[in-house]
Each structure stands twice: as C-alpha cells, then as structure tokens.
Structure 1
Amino acid sequence: MKWQKLLALGMAAIMTAAFVTGCGGGADKTNNADKTKKIVVGLDDNFPPMGFKNESNEIVGFDIDLAKEASKRLGREVEFKAIDWSSKEAELKSGRVDILWNGLDITEKRKENMLFSDPYMDNRQIIFVKKGNKDITDEASMAGKVIGTQSASSAEEYMDSNSFFKEKVKEVKKYSDFVSAFMDLENGRIDAVVGDEITGRYYMSKHADSLDVVDVAVGPVSTFGIGFAKDNQQLRDDVQKVLNEMKADGTMAKISEKWFGKDITKK
C-alpha cells in the first residue's frame, strides 16, 4: 500500500506543477498589459529627424521626443533599441521590442502583421536630386536613371510593385538607410533619391548647397503611425490615449515646431 500512496502523491505533485505552469503561461501572455513594465521602442537610429544619433551618440529626434513624453505620462520607463529596419516585423512579433515608433508608414500589408495607432502625420515620397540637375522633373523623367532609396521603406515597396521602375529605370539601388543614399547622390554615384519628404527635407536643410528637391509626389501619400504587436491591444490603447491628450494640450504641436519649424502633425 505504501507504493500506492507514493504514486498518488507523485501524481498530485505533477498536476500541481502543471497547473502552476499553466497559470504562469497565462501571466506571460498578459505581460503586455503590465503598466509597470519598461516599454522597448524599436527604431532605425539613422532616420533623421524622426530618430537618429547626434554628435554625442545619443538617440534623439521627433519620434523620440513623442515617445519620451508618452512614456512619462504613462508612468513607464522607455528604452530605445536600434534594430535592422528590414526585420522590424519579426522584432515586434518576437517580443524583442514592444513598439515600432520611427516614421512608420501605415499600409494594408503591414496591418496584416501589426496593430497601428491613429495616424499622427502625413508623409509623401518625393524626388531629391543633385544641385543643378534639370533632367529629372517628375516620375516619368527618371527613365534610364539610377535611383536610390532605403530598403524596406514605402518608396521601395512602391517602386518594387510598379512596372515603370522595373522596365524603364536603369537601376533601383537600395540602401540600409536614407543618409547613405543621399551621400551617394551628393557624390554623383546615383541620379536621384526617392524617399520620405520629412527625412529628405531635414537632410536638405543641412546640405542646401548640394541638393535640390523635385516637389512632386511619387506614389500614394501615406501616413505615419505607431506599430504594436497583434496581441498588444492594451498597450496600443494606452499609448493612443496619451497621444490624444498631447494633441489636445498642444504638446505634440510644440515638439513638431522644434523639429520642423511648424506644426505638421495631423489634427
């Protein structure tokens, strides 16, 4: 009979362990709603003025200021984590980052894999050329040219899906970041850059003597939003609530004026 009692005790211990493990699994799944947990923001840290490293190697930018203010209002710490932007959805899905907040265009394709905040800024893809270039005046005039853009950007998505860029453009050269593309443009290695207006105009403000803008939209006008994992509805709602407050009290407008000279956020 002794062995039967031992067997019963062993079975009870296994069931208890399984129950505890099951409860622990449930806790992990609700971890996203933990309002004391640090928020990890994934970003491309070479995307001025949205998020980039300054001369002191600190990550700064428009989106950085927004995220800091939002985290402060939520009473949570924030960590900014530089990631490979082309792998951003995998980083979000794996839980290595909680949020993608870095001039992220809202697209139907991306909505399949993540939740978005409400749009907070419009963004066009426009053309940038070397100072004095009069050959490129619109999308059609890029035929036969070498065009640069950033990998995994909305401009790349548009050009990859457009037969004109596959058949008429000499080459679409893809870079890890827009800064590298602009540097090649200044050095004459490519004929134009198609990219985010906000990033390009900020870069141009620092290099006005070497670059020009062709103020024509390439592809559809997009909007920026903040990306969250599909199972992270609570965090999405919490962040949206404080963003709404920041719009209403003028904080978002002030941050925009700091980086762009005027309020260009969506009302």
Structure 2
Amino acid sequence: MFKKIFSLVLVLCISVLIFSGCTQNNSSSSEDSLDKVKKSGTLLVGMHDDYPPMEFRDEKDNTVGFEVDLANEIGKKLGVKVKLVSNAWDGIFLALNAKKFDVIMSTVSITDERKNTMLFSDPIVYGGNAVYVKEGNNELKSEKDFPGKIIGCEAGSTGQNVLSKISGIKDIKKYNSTPDAFLDLKSGRISAVVTDPMVGDYYSQKEKGVYKKLKTTLTKEPIGAAFRKKDKSLRDGFQKAFNELKKDGTLAKLSKKWFGYDIYSS
C-alpha cells in the first residue's frame, strides 16, 4: 500500500514539474514584442534608403525622408530611440523574419499576398504605380503603348508584378535603385518608369521640364509599416502612436514638409 501511495505521489510531482516547465517555455516564447522593444530602449527600423522623398540619403550621406521623420516621431511616442537599418529591397522581407530589425518602414505596399506572412499597420499613405516618361514623349499615352518598349521599375516591387502581366513589352528593366531608373529615362535608355506617384512627382519637381507623369495609373495601393506575423502588440503600439500623431497635427506637418501639401486633410 505504501509503495502504491509513494508511486502515485512521485508521478504527481513529476507531472507538476513537466507542466511547470512547459508553462515557462510557452511564456518565454510568447514574449510581448512591444515590451521587448521598450526594454531594449531601441526600435530597429529596416528600410531601403534609396526612394526619395520617402527614404533616401542626402548630400551629407544622412538618411532622410518622410518615413524617416515618421519613424522618429513614432519612437518618441513609444519612449524609445530609433535606429535605422539599411537593407536592399529584394531581401528586406527575409531580413525582417530573420529579426534583423523590428519593423519595415520602406514604402511597403499592403497586398493580400504579403498579409499572409506579415502584419501591417493601417495605411500610412496611398501610393501605387504611376507612369513617368521623358518630357516631349508623346508616343506613350498609357500602358496600351508599352508593347515593343523597354519599361523600368524597382526590382521586387509591385510595379514589376503589374508589368509582368502586360503582354508585348520588349523588356522590363529592373533596378535596385530608383534614381538609376530615372537617370536611364533621362538618357533615353528606357521609355518609361513605373513607380509610386509621390516618388515620381519628387523627381518631376526636382528636375522641372525633364519628366512628366501620364494620366494613366496602373494601380493605387495602400502603403504601411510591416511587422512579423507574431508581433501584434508592437504593431498595435505603432498604430496607437500613429493615430496620436495624426490627431495632434504632426503628420500634417511632415506631409507638407516632404510632399508640399497635407495628404491627411481629407
């Protein structure tokens, strides 16, 4: 009888220890992502810093732009410093999942396909795929005129996906740097560049009389901050900070600074 009681107590003790260990492991594996960032004191922001006016390097090699300023304001709201981590666009999503940074703020279009593997904030701005040609080019009026032409876009962008569905294009030239695409457009090496309207408009304003935007727009896309699928608390903290910045007028100021008007007025 004593042996049976002893065996039962032993089994119960072992069960408690196993359960306790599992609970601790589950707790540590589901660590709150927002708390983790706050404890570290730094929000790591990944971006491909070659996409003016959203994020780019100025003459002094400083990373500047609309999303750079926005990231810093978000950091203030969260009570942490912001560290920008430069990453090539074509590997930026893999780098996020490899925990190279906590969030991507790099003009990321929110698509159904990307939602399968990432969490997104609400739209920060609305971009899409506008078409820019060289001033004086009256041959191209819409995507119907693309057959037989060389069209440029950023490698790995939604613009590349859109262009791949248009038949007859002579070549889709993919660039790692959007400024290089506009330089090739300027020199006549390509017939058009497909890119976000705020980016193309930036170049049109920077070099007046060199580029023009066609009336056609291939797509209109929401752009947001991207997070790892499990980092819901960090996404929610980001969204709360963003909403506060919109309410207190900070976003309006940043918009006027980089775009010349308040995109949030409506």
Q: Do both proteins adopt the same fold according to a TM-score greater than 0.5, normalized to the shorter chain?
A: yes
Alignment match, 2:86: 82
Aligned counterpart, 1:196? 196
Measured after TM superposition, the shift of residue 90 of structure 1 is 0.8
Q: Where does the alignment leave 5 or more consecutive residues of structure 2 unmatched?
A: 1-16
- Tell me the SS of whatever aligns to 1:244: helix
> For the structure 1 residues 234 and 31, does the alpha-carbon distance in structure 2 shift closer, same or farther, using more than 3 Å as the test?
closer
The separation in 1 between residues aligned to 2:30 and 2:66, in whole angstroms, is: 31
CA distance in 2: counterparts of 1:92 and 1:102, whole angstroms: 12
User: SS of the residue aligned with 2:240?
Assistant: helix
> Is the aligned partner of 1:50 residue 2:51?
no
Match of 2:8 in 1: none
Give the letter for the 2:229 counterpart: K
Retained in 1: the 8 A contact 2:43–2:83? yes
Residue 50 of structure 1: how far off its partner (Å): 0.6
| TM-score normalized with structure 2 length | 0.87
Deviations 1:194-213 (A, max 9, x none): 11111111111111132121
Let me know the Cα RMSD of the aligned residues. Answer: 2.3
Q: 1:44 to 1:265 in 2, by over 3 A?
A: farther
Q: Distance in 2 between matches of 1:264 and 1:142?
A: 31
- Name 1:256's counterpart in structure 2: 255
Q: Match of 1:30?
A: 31
Determine the structure 2 residue equivalent to 1:222: 221
CA-to-aligned-CA distance 1:113-150 (integer Å, 9 cap, x gap): 10000112111311111121000001101111100000
- Inter-CA distance 128–79: structure 2 relative to 1 (3 Å threshold): same
C-alpha deviation, 1:249, in angstroms:
1.2
Q: 1:73: how far off?
A: 1.0
Q: Is the 1:146–1:171 Cα contact (8 Å) retained in structure 2? A: yes
What is the rounded CA distance, in whole Å, between the counterparts of 2:186 and 2:22 in structure 1?
59
Counterpart in 1 of 2:210?
210
Distance 2:239 2:197 in 1: 25
Provide, for residues 78-106 of structure 1, a one-character-per-residue CA deviation record: whole Å limited to 9, x for no partner: 11011111112111111111101111110
Distance in 1, matches of 2:118 and 2:44, equals 16
Cross-structure match for 1:113: 117
Aligned counterparts of 1:239 and 1:33: Cα–Cα separation in 2: 9
Moved more, 193-202 or 209-218: 209-218
Counterpart AA for 1:109: E
Q: Which residue identity lines up with residue 155 of structure 1 in the other structure?
A: G
Q: Secondary structure at the match of 1:41?
A: strand
Matched, 1:95 2:96: no
2:14 corresponding residue in structure 1: none
Q: TM-score, normalising length from structure 1?
A: 0.87
Q: CA deviation at 1:152?
A: 1.2
Provide closer, same or farther for how the CA distance between residues 76 and 28 of structure 1 changes in structure 2, counting only shifts above 3 A.
Answer: farther
Give 1:10's aligned residue. none
Q: Is the 8 A contact 1:129 1:192 kept in 2?
A: yes
Look up the SS of the partner of 2:39 in the other structure: coil
State the SS of the aligned residue for 1:49: coil
Structure 1 residues not aligned, in runs of 5+ = 1-15
Give the aligned residue type for 1:98.
D
The aligned runs of 1:3-22 (5 Å cut-off) are none
Is residue 184 from structure 1 mapped to residue 188 from structure 2 by the alignment?
Answer: no
Show structure 1 runs of 4+ deviating over 4 A: 19-26
Letter in 1 for 2:178: F
Provide the residue aligned with 1:231 in structure 2.
230
Partners of 1:77 and 1:25 in 2: CA distance: 29
